[in-house]
Structure 1
Amino acid sequence: MSRLHQRIREARGLTGLSQEALAIDLGVSRSAIAQWEMHPGGTVPAVENLIALARRSGMAFEYLATGRGARIAGEPILNVAEEPSAYRQLSEQQRRLLDCFDALGARQRAGLLDLLDSSSRHKRR
């Protein structure tokens, strides 16, 4: 049975993309892709990134994550980002705010939420 880093490299091979191009598609850094493909000592991608890679490559998620089951799930999906249907019901200002929030890194999002939470608690006093 292959190891995770080998299956990740195999999935990238199915996309026909370089590490840099795949990183752009998945919304991660090129170094993240390189780390996922590195053995030993590489990092393990988050489940959300494995799902996105499986969808982008056409590889079955179970096979990509565990090495078990069918290797291919279907045709690759060229655009792994989904159009959030809830955005259509929001005002333009709300959509802009969510787009900006989505562009932030995880730490920046957490910091912004902490700031907003503290601000709203301060106003309630």
Structure 2
Amino acid sequence: MDLSQEDLAADLGVSRGAVAQWEMVEGTCPNVENLIALARRTGLAFEYLATGRGPKIQGQPIDAIADDDSPYAMLSPQQAALLEWFDRLGKRQQAGLFDLVGIGRRGGTKS
């Protein structure tokens, strides 16, 4: 993959200097969020980037990292759809659904 430090930095939302540090033997390490984005952008395996162990290639690189402003970005499509549906319900409907499935209002199950 032919990707400049400047292009990668722009894709990940970090400075070019941060990317340069990551490439240095004695440089800083990216945080977990940046490692995840770096793995997605390059196709390299997260474990390989984080530890140097395991398979180097995970999958196909993606063209760019797009920020997903959704609060459900890390959920599966089914989980996100359920939460989006739930958020559209009124407070009384949400409370009724909690009662129906046996979940208390604080998120724990009823005893």
TM-score (norm 2): 0.58
Unmatched tracts of structure 2, length 5 or more: 73-83, 85-111
Aligned equivalent of 2:9 = 23
* Structure having the larger proportion of residues in helix: 1
The Cα offsets for residues 37-84 of structure 1, whole Å up to 9 and x where unpaired, read as 1122x1111111111101000011111111111111111011222433
Aligned equivalent of 2:60 = 75
Aligned equivalent of 1:64 = 49
Query: 2:32 is matched with which residue: 16, 39, 47?
Result: 47
Unmatched tracts of structure 1, length 5 or more: 1-13, 90-125
Task: Give 1:44's aligned amino acid.
Answer: C
Identity %: 67
Q: Which has the higher contact order (CA 8 A, sep 6+)?
A: 1
* Structure with greater Cα Rg: 2
CA shift at 1:85, angstroms? Answer: 3.5
TM-score (norm 1): 0.52
Q: CA RMSD in A?
A: 1.9
Aligned equivalent of 2:24 = 38
Aligned length: 73
